[in-house]
Structure 1
Amino acid sequence: MRLSEFDRAVDAEFGARGRAMLDDLALARVGYRTAAEALKAGISTRDVWLALCEEADVPRDRRYGVGRLDPRDR
């Protein structure tokens, strides 16, 4: 998952509160770091995305492939 895909996924799933969640929500799956801290520490965007989804109870069907552009729209 590219950082641009991660950003689109956060915006699509969490809207206006997404940016605050990246800075404030501690994620157990990445060592109780925030998403911003985890990304800065070099943890993959995919792992951070999944940790964020898990912590925020995002349904599994909205976790995978989110943020990717449809090839027809490129």
Structure 2
Amino acid sequence: MKREKNYNYAFLFYDVGEKRVQKVFKICKKYLSHYQKSVFRGDMTPSKLISLRNELKKVINDDEDLCV
């Protein structure tokens, strides 16, 4: 019996402070494909989404940055 994978397609846009741009870029690059400037897209499993969010939470400042 072939097991089905649970994939979703994700888009990620970010606008972060200059100090955090490279860190956010590197984290996003691990999980998604770079599309243009601060836009990433690609297939995303639920577990990878949780990991991505956890890594970004450590870097992003909620008061100054925007990540959707």
TM-score of the superposition, structure 2-length normalised?
0.34
Q: Which has the higher contact order (CA 8 A, sep 6+)?
A: 2
Normalized per residue, the structure richer in helix is 1
TM-score of the superposition, structure 1-length normalised?
0.32
Normalized per residue, the structure richer in strand is 2
